[in-house]
Amino acid sequence: MRIVLEGAVRPEAIVVPQRAVLEGPKEKYVYVVNAESKAEPRPVQVGEWAGDGWIIESGLKAGERVIVDGVMKIGPGAPVQVASEDGKNRVAAGAPQAKPADAAAAPADSAKKGPAK
């Protein structure tokens, strides 16, 4: 038998995929796509896991584009190119000819449900 208990709801919680969160020597961070379409490291405070994502306590705002794939291949200031794939925002990091699968970004999600802290 499998039982799923649903607890408290965290309205407006920001959740990003676990693979998007990197750990530096002092803090955890993610790469976001800035106004110039370049990768920008952003320190974040993570909370608990929600499914396959981290709940972000601080450091991101809803709607910011977080690079989720290919983060090990990029660095601060790396150019990214936004393309649409299956109705989702996808971002390619590196040179303009990079494939969209090399790096992908998704808007920071505002989750309607999430585990209580």
Of 21 and 86, which is predicted with more confidence? 21
**CA dist list (Å): 99 to 56, 69, 71, 106, 113:** 28, 12, 14, 16, 33
Quick: pLDDT tens for 64-83.
999 988 888 888 999 987 66
13-111 domain in CATH 1.10.15.40?
Answer: no
- To 10 degrees, the CA torsion angle through 28, 33, 34, 39? 70
User: Model pTM greater than 0.85?
Assistant: no
Share of the chain above pLDDT 70, in %: 68
Structure tokens at 18: 């676990």
Domain range annotation of the chain: 13-111
Residue 55 near residue 70, CB atoms below 8 Å: no
Residue 13 near residue 111, CB atoms below 8 Å: yes
